[in-house]
Structure 1
Amino acid sequence: MEPLVVIFGSTGTGKSDLAVELATQFNGEVINADAMQMYEGLPVITNQMSPEEQRGVPHHLIGNIGLREHPWTVLEFRREASRIISEIRGRGRLPIVVGGSAYYIDGLLFDDRLVKDELPAEIDPVPREELLTKFPILFEPADVMLKKLHEVDPAMANKWHPKDTRKIRNSLQIYLTTGRRASDIYAEQQSRKASRATGESPNTRTPWNVLLFWLYARRDPLNERLDARVDKMLSRGLLDEISGVYDDYRTRLASGESVDRARGIVQSIGFWQFEPYLRAIKDETPEDGPALAKLRAAGVEDTKTATRRYAKYQVRWLTMKTLASLRDEKLLDRLFLLDATDVGVWHDEVARKGVELTRAFVAGEQLSQPVDVSETAREVLTSTVERSSHQETPCNKTCDLCDKTFVTEKEWQKHLKSNRHQKSARYAKRPALVSYDARRTAVVSTKPELPAQSNVTLDDPRAAKEAT
């Protein structure tokens, strides 16, 4: 069992800084597990460490793919990262994996990667051109693919939201390329996990002896830090990099190339947020000064909002997926939460404690209990481990009022209590409004009929009153 240190957590908590600190202390090398940092020539937009910040520590899988390439699949990352880990160990050094793309880390650590999130490890990636030729339905709209998936694998089709194109496509691709239903592969994986948990089969999860650090920060202080980081990135040339990506994007579209907006570098935070501003300054008839300033300010604010939202998403993934897998594999005693909330005490709470735990780990000493690291660790680990153990009840319910479909009972109940649904329900209960012409016709029709020989008309108010 060879030692492997893994560092994960939300953006802005100092994961890379801790990795470099541990590498300098324990003769280590760093392996990047952040999908966006794999793109070459974009150090600002992907928030890469500068050579000075790397402090001479070898870093792998940074800037290793081209601008127009898609991010690696989990399988591609796993294969290359495993190879690099073996090479680092061959040099007698400590491999340290660090990054915010938790699906990469999960794919590296756990053999039975659930097919509901990505293609399973046993499914070899197929080039896009080959898929397009052999299975053009995989490039149809989500509703077309979902209809086919209902025919070949209804159990898997019922798991997905009708608009979740990526997951629908993955499940259908598994069936089309292997002839096996994704739901069957998923069931086999669950069975193997259950067998390992009961001791009926050996644990073949990983050849490494792992030490895991979760860098955690409370939301409000972290959000302030993330806002300040966006401002710093702007001063370092963020807009210049985004402008270059935007130019390449428009060139590809102009040449007739189909660009997947849900994959690749265009997913990076900042690109779509600044698109209206970039479009304005690059048009032949650009906006005036005040209008451009307004678009730029909106791009800054939208980028900060997207960054904060992404940090929240990362924590949710770790809580509901990574921790659940660690619990199933009985590895929670190797997960240490380090409190990165206060930058002023980051060295003591994160670096110093991380170094001490790593020293005991590589020396083969008994590690302390994760909940004893700090009060924050005790509070967060206790609550999140409990929360991750709750299995969400699947369902497939559609709200006709809001035109939304939900695939878990928890999401459905949350929607029913939401302000949007409550407002729609109240509006639906209102009596139908009658048009002015229809109302006028109805009122006039209630007037009594006048005698046939009468010369009185309803145009005369006094005569009308007498007639009534």
Structure 2
Amino acid sequence: MGATGTGKSKLSIDIASRFPTEVVNADKIQVYRGLDVTTNKIPLADRCGVPHHLLGEIDPAEGELQPAGFRALAGASVAGIAARGRIPVVVGGSNSCIYAMMVDRYDGRENPFSGAPAGWRQHRYRSCLIWVDVEASTLAEHLDRRVDEMVGKGMVEELEGYFNEEGPAMERHLGLAKAIGVPEFRKYFQRRTATAYEEALASVRTNTRRLAEEQLRKIKRLKQLGWRMQRMDATAAVAAGIAGSSPSMAAQAWERDVVGPSLSAVEQFLREEN
């Protein structure tokens, strides 16, 4: 768990290097096919052969996936992984989907993230909950830089292709159309001016930071509801990357502060399970 840009996907691969795992994506935008750069899906090469489920599998024309639907799909993925004798690792920042998946009895009419605390809900899985966190100002700077990196990887060209294909079918892309970048760049492709381009980029940066803040708020809410999470502070690793330190320094901080403690947490959890 964690806000966007904290390194959740990277950690899942690091864990997979030590344990026989398969990953279940819990990002409600990344479940759809298309816009791989814009939605920041982990590239195939970076998955290191680790099987991923619910990552770019759903046709966006089928409509928007709701938390209850995610619960059913993710539950089936977890059951299949367990049947193969492997460990399911659920990774993502869509806390509403994670909540729907984790609680034993889910009521889609209930919003655990607003109003009075809904109270404890028994989990249907015994789980090791790891929260990857980064200090707010450091994460904000990292996210701004990540937007620039995504532009360099072809985000704008990818969005142009998306808008060029718009038609009756695209009107049903209710989920994918909510990806940060789609509404922000719609006006740019209508006007195609330098000012519109800069405004679109600024909006992407702002909305990405706001998303991270909202994700963090929901994680803290789950803690209030009694979810026992082990917090891993990735600030030093992210800050080293921002500062332009040698890759080895950032890697050392990541291993020391995030990977090492996470592996220990998983090892202890598995010992208790056995």
Both proteins in one fold, TM over 0.5: yes
* Residues 53-75 of structure 1, C-alpha deviations (whole Å, 9 max, x = no match): 10010000011112323331112
Looking at structure 2, the residues matched to 275 and 237 of structure 1 have their Cα atoms a distance apart, in angstroms, of 16
Looking at structure 2, the residues matched to 34 and 300 of structure 1 have their Cα atoms a distance apart, in angstroms, of 22
Q: 1:264 aligns with which of 169, 175, 184?
A: 175
Question: What letter matches 2:160 in structure 1?
Answer: S
Find out whether 1:246 has 2:163 as its counterpart. yes
Shift of 1:308: 0.5
Looking at structure 2, the residues matched to 29 and 204 of structure 1 have their Cα atoms a distance apart, in angstroms, of 24
Unaligned 5+ runs, structure 2: 238-249
Structure-2 residue corresponding to 1:73: 66
8 A contact 2:26–2:91 mirrored in 1: yes
Coordinate RMSD, CA, aligned: 2.4
Unaligned 5+ runs, structure 1: 1-7, 119-158, 161-189, 198-202, 282-291, 366-468
Shift of 1:317: 1.4
List aligned pairs for 1:185-200, cutoff 5 A: none
2:50 is paired with a residue of what secondary structure?
coil
Higher RCO, 1 vs 2 (CA within 8 Å, ≥6 residues apart): 2
2:17 is paired with a residue of what secondary structure?
helix
Q: 1:50 to 1:239 in 2, by over 3 A?
A: same
Structure-2 residue corresponding to 1:237: 154
Structure-1 residue corresponding to 2:142: 225
Looking at structure 2, the residues matched to 65 and 306 of structure 1 have their Cα atoms a distance apart, in angstroms, of 24
Structure-1 residue corresponding to 2:224: 324
Q: 1:356 to 1:306 in 2, by over 3 A?
A: same
8 A contact 1:221–1:342 mirrored in 2: no
1:272 is paired with a residue of what secondary structure?
helix
8 A contact 2:65–2:175 mirrored in 1: no
Q: Sequence identity, in percent?
A: 31
* Residues 130-172 of structure 1, C-alpha deviations (whole Å, 9 max, x = no match): xxxxxxxxxxxxxxxxxxxxxxxxxxxxx99xxxxxxxxxxxx
Aligned residues between the structures: 256
TM-score under structure 1 normalisation? 0.51
Find out whether 1:111 has 2:104 as its counterpart. yes
Find out whether 1:35 has 2:28 as its counterpart. yes
8 A contact 1:340–1:350 mirrored in 2: yes
Structure 1 residue ranges (4+ consecutive) displaced by more than 3 angstroms after TM superposition: 257-260
Shift of 1:258: 6.0
Looking at structure 2, the residues matched to 48 and 56 of structure 1 have their Cα atoms a distance apart, in angstroms, of 15
Find out whether 1:279 has 2:190 as its counterpart. yes
Question: What letter matches 1:90 in structure 2?
Answer: A
Structure-1 residue corresponding to 2:271: 363
Looking at structure 2, the residues matched to 68 and 240 of structure 1 have their Cα atoms a distance apart, in angstroms, of 21
8 A contact 1:12–1:225 mirrored in 2: yes
8 A contact 1:214–1:338 mirrored in 2: yes
Looking at structure 2, the residues matched to 323 and 70 of structure 1 have their Cα atoms a distance apart, in angstroms, of 31
Shift of 1:112: 3.8
TM-score under structure 2 normalisation? 0.86
Shift of 1:268: 0.7
List aligned pairs for 1:161-240, cutoff 5 A: 205-206=123-124, 208-240=125-157
Looking at structure 2, the residues matched to 80 and 316 of structure 1 have their Cα atoms a distance apart, in angstroms, of 26
